[in-house]
A and B are shown apart, each in its own frame.
Chain A
């Protein structure tokens, strides 16, 4: 047989090709690793130049309100009540002044300057004696918003009140509904049905399903109604369903009714915004335009629960963190087109022998940098360790391996804030934002300055469990502020207990992905931000002041304290933006635009 030998030329060519292939596979990784400056926080310079002193202050004194150029509302009720705190906060966010009275007869200045609306807490209204004054207010063109309704018997027995409220028929003092339908055009995000159609969906239903049944009459517009079980109530016409939010139109004013305690939580911001939008032919309000997802306590750098990890996943901790959890989180962030912020602790237990592993730290910081995620601190620790001790220990770990990384955000409990601020100066000197859980007694405050320059941001939704109420609140916050702050607490995943098999990543991830996909639609106009970016926008939002005016088909917006993180939302009724000068406009949905001002004066031309 004639064996042809490999020539030198062919040998050389094959070698070159193999080298080339090797370079193509490995080269990019090498380049990425070489130039990955993971020890720098790329968001460190994104802070807006605003602090507690620059934020808008709500005027509450009657003389000051009447002389001030800002719009105002009148609230009849207690500002310390749940709905009262919502209204107060909402005034801060919408740059409105607020006049509060305990009874409607105390409000006498309506002839001097018309408020945007008069908000009523039904508990502070005498439905017999106050009705004539309320009618007088409406004749002046002042719209009335019933933040809650009088009790059923009062309404049923008072036909004048029923007519005033736009109720055609008071059917039942209490009934159990099967869910709610939020119609499109009120809150942003389109129509939503909060109705559990099967057993699987029942776990999402966390609305209160008991409510009185009122049927709105003629000249009304319903924005949200309850759905009844047809097997119990038979077929009910659309217009006969129990109404939740509705509006009665009078010749000069409107009467809005809220049938339920929807203004007592953060969902009230969007409802109030939508109501004010319905009152006028357009509405322009400053918004935050930030959607944040904070991953709490993932990753962990010390392998403290190897046995539990092994029992749950048959893998060691490093493998679970790197090969099980990270790919899912990475994929989810890409699907959501979202920039996550990882607020984690190097270790949970500071008293044991397990110390943070430097390789893990480098590995995860490289990944975070590649994905443009942000890393922050967490105050989570074992009970035997104080915040100060924990922070000092963390400082020593980070300074050993990450000398240049500036931690700008930290996750802590609200009760720990002062302790955190007095913790390790080396770490907390650079701190700009403290992310905290939402507490029940915080007065519906979404964010606030703690100290002059540190901003407290609250996690408003739990990203590990979807629920209808949360979805509604999310819509409401998007309508009011284009803002969301979702927390995904991975403590139980990264610090598992050996006997708890229910807390496994696959189930956790399934619930998290469901919730995040529902709360953060992938093609949303609102911008996804890290905590630091969002904090910067919040500072700009709190500082900005504005006035707007419409002349014919032109809206003029005058802005004070504008920065590049300032955004506005414009809502129009069946109109579109024809042209805009001094800003960029992006359509959120029909009749809603996100305005990014580029100058202090923005002129918007409209077309029908």
Chain B
């Protein structure tokens, strides 16, 4: 299974790369002339994601989405553009081939000579390609080595979880799985209007490449996280003056254990918020590029492309996750301040306002259309609107949780799926509590001057920020870390001002914008402590904060190189200084902080055993659709959608309670698989005896009566699995030829019942623990 998982992940990586890099590069190869590699990469990712998302949105809203329409609207434009762009080359090639064929037909050339020419040309093309690749690699040898090492490290820390724990590790995923499954029925926004950009991408890969949705959701995180860091790297590489600051920044983010583990744990799962982060930095970069190109009058096409790409990225943040839009919006606000000298000029202002308006319209349009068609708002949209209108300041999203229940269980329920570790128990700051918090501080009297008020506020801000940073981000010394971050922000803003004075305004404005943006992020992170509405849960904002701090580190590491370049204009020297400084800082960080290890989801948040996933893969490969049923806790419900039937364990056990009264349970498929965890998972709720094996003691306990997925959590799961195990064993004793063990490992066992569909078994038996 490990090898299979790795191969599947590699396959997904190749598919995503082809879709988002290779195809756009083929199509827009000529249009990208003059742009840096990093820019091209960001453009590729932007264009492809924007196209796929909106294509799926349009086809879904028209209810004509299928593999055929998706393929037609993917392949046809690609071919059309390629043919139009390369028509001259194609024509010339065709003429050459016709000439060769003419020679063959007139017998002035033999077949052998013809094939020799063809092979020679192919060989030349391959040799030239190899030479070019080696030349490029040779020219940036150090960079490629560093890049490869960082990539391997990245895959190690974020990819290990996928090959150690096969199942979902975040409770959101069954919900997303459900929504994507519904898209296969052309039922987008199944649970109401919601940002579906991420779902569109997964749905597209699932439909076009026939990969099961659950496999993509299990493994896409590796691809997503790799690209997320690639974009971070590319962004830094593009805005920095030196070559090595980006490596330094990324190294500090990836290698030493600077931050609390929960700041990055969500990267081991394929989640919309993290996927949406992919578009924040490209959006910002293209805005930077717009200001630069406008200033330099780089040409209408380039300026338009910059603006369009920024606009597309911003719209995609709306389409994927509103938190990403918030962060992108904060950065844009910082840019407004950083680039204020240019922003308010009409030629910039009007274009930018137009672009923002267009981005919002494009981003919101699919959701708005769906709403017009009568789709209700999904719960979290209402919550978001309440936040924005100030009617609620809660950081948690109860509505999404209720949807998780819908996706997780086939029966109705109102329980909540907690995000283990990745989300911490959030205490909603009630106005009274907030007032109390403030009241605990010295009471401000009217006689206190404004300066003192400000000082007091800053002290309060710093104090609470330090506390929260220590608690949530930087485990060792929050106050120091807060001071360092604030200092670096100040440093980079001052450096930016310096650069502006030194007539390096583009670089300076970027530094100022970044510094201010980081300050904004800190305020967002600390909002609840300073009386501002908490737009984002700290659990989420710290992910953005740590991610964006990498940009700050890189800009700081780039500062000496910028000064050197300004003073002596020697790029090599600047790169050397950057490399040395980055090396020293990174080495120091590695000495001071421990090295990060691969991230594993804690046991409490593991939602499925490896055996269950292995078993599911085997069943799906062996059985024809709809000929089998899986009786399991809940997660397989969505994983099997469209392939097999699912029956919930708790429903099954509840019917078994009435076996003595003649209650029958009939599952009318030829094959029925029973999933039982021998060591039940905690399923987000740990309890005193977590990790214990199923036992007769557990089976003898009363069946949990709670609704939704609560019977599968914590101790309840142990009771449910214990009862299920003893039922299965008893049934196997009664029907040994029909009920067999299909799969077994230390933690999990799967029984398979083969029955005649025309005369199915009544599964209701007395197994001594029916009550």
Contact = CB atoms under 8 A, between A and B. Distances in A.
A82 B61 CA distance: 72
Interface string B194-208: 000000000000000
Given A185-B756, A191-B756, A238-B758, 10 more contacts: A184-B756, A218-B766, A221-B738, A223-B759, A238-B666, A239-B664, A281-B736, A281-B737, A574-B737, A574-B738
Interface in A233-250: 238-239, 249-250
Contacts of A249: 734-735
B758 A239 contact: no
Nearest to A185: B756
Nearest to A246: B759
A217 interface: yes
Contacts of A184: 756, 758
A222 interface: yes
A515 B175 CA distance: 58
Contact of B662 (A218, A223, A281): A218
A562 interface: no
| The 8 nearest A-B residue pairs measured at CB | A573-B737, A249-B734, A183-B759, A183-B756, A222-B759, A218-B764, A219-B765, A218-B762
A606 to B, nearest CB: 12
Interface string A555-589: 00000000000000000011000000000000000
B668 to A, nearest CB: 8
Interface of B: 659, 662, 664, 666, 668, 733-738, 740, 754, 756, 758-762, 764-766
A251 B738 contact: no
A220 interface: yes
A184 to B, nearest CB: 6
A591 B596 CA distance: 55
A238 B733 contact: no
Given A251-B734, A278-B737, A574-B737, A221 B761 contact: yes
A574 B737 CA distance: 7
A393 interface: no
Contacts of B761: 221
Contact of A191 (B668, B735, B754, B758): B758
A181 interface: yes
A608 interface: yes
A181 B757 CA distance: 13
Chain A binding surface SS class: loop
- Interface class of chain B by DSSP: loop
Nearest to B668: A238
Nearest to A574: B754
A168 interface: yes
A217 B766 CA distance: 12
A225 interface: yes
Contacts of B765: 218-219
Given A249-B735, A251-B734, A574-B740, A225 B662 contact: no
Contacts of A573: 737-738
A238 B762 contact: no
B411 to A, nearest CB: 23
A181 B758 contact: yes
Contacts of B764: 218
Contacts of A181: 758-759
A504 B107 CA distance: 76
Contacts of B756: 183-185, 191
Nearest to B758: A183
Contacts of B758: 181, 183-184, 191, 238
A239 B757 CA distance: 11
Interface in A212-229: 217-223, 225
Contacts of B759: 181, 183, 221-223, 225, 238
Contacts of B668: 238
Contacts of B664: 218, 239
Nearest to A249: B734
A185 B738 CA distance: 11
A379 to B, nearest CB: 46
Contacts of A239: 664, 666, 760, 762
A261 B553 CA distance: 90
Nearest to A608: B740
B662 A168 contact: yes
Nearest to A217: B662
Interface in A176-231: 181, 183-185, 191, 217-223, 225
Contacts of A281: 736-737
Nearest to B659: A218
5 contacts: A181-B759, A219-B734, A221-B738, A251-B734, A574-B737
Nearest to B666: A239
Nearest to B756: A183
Nearest to B736: A281
Contact of A220 (B740, B754, B762): B762
Interface in A285-327: none
B519 to A, nearest CB: 65
A473 to B, nearest CB: 21
Contacts of A217: 662, 762
A278 B738 CA distance: 10
Interface in A250-295: 250-251, 278, 281
Nearest to A282: B737
B733 A251 contact: yes
Task: Among A184, A221, A239, A251, find the residue whose CB has the most chain B CB atoms closer than 10 A.
Answer: A221
A406 B307 CA distance: 102
A37 B669 CA distance: 58
Nearest to A250: B734
A218 B660 CA distance: 9
Contacts of B766: 218-219
Nearest to B730: A251
The interface centre, meaning the residue of B659, B664, B758, B766 with most chain A CB atoms within 10 A of its CB, is: B758
Contacts of A278: 737
Interface string A410-422: 0000000000000
A222 B761 CA distance: 8
A115 B761 CA distance: 28
Contacts of B740: 574, 608
A221 B731 CA distance: 12
Nearest to A252: B733
Interface in A158-178: 168
B576 to A, nearest CB: 66
A239 B665 CA distance: 10
Contacts of B662: 168, 217-218
Contacts of B736: 281
A181 B756 CA distance: 12
B615 to A, nearest CB: 14
A546 B659 CA distance: 44
A374 B762 CA distance: 52
B627 to A, nearest CB: 14
A220 B764 CA distance: 10
A217 B764 CA distance: 9
Contacts of A191: 756, 758
Contacts of A608: 740
Nearest to B739: A574
A501 to B, nearest CB: 44
Nearest to A223: B759
A225 to B, nearest CB: 7
Q: Which among B733, B736, B740, B762 has the greatest number of chain A C-beta atoms within 10 A?
A: B762
A495 to B, nearest CB: 46
Nearest to B733: A251
A148 B735 CA distance: 23
B27 to A, nearest CB: 51
A217 B661 CA distance: 11
A184 B738 CA distance: 14
A163 to B, nearest CB: 11
Given A218-B662, A574-B740, A238 B734 contact: no
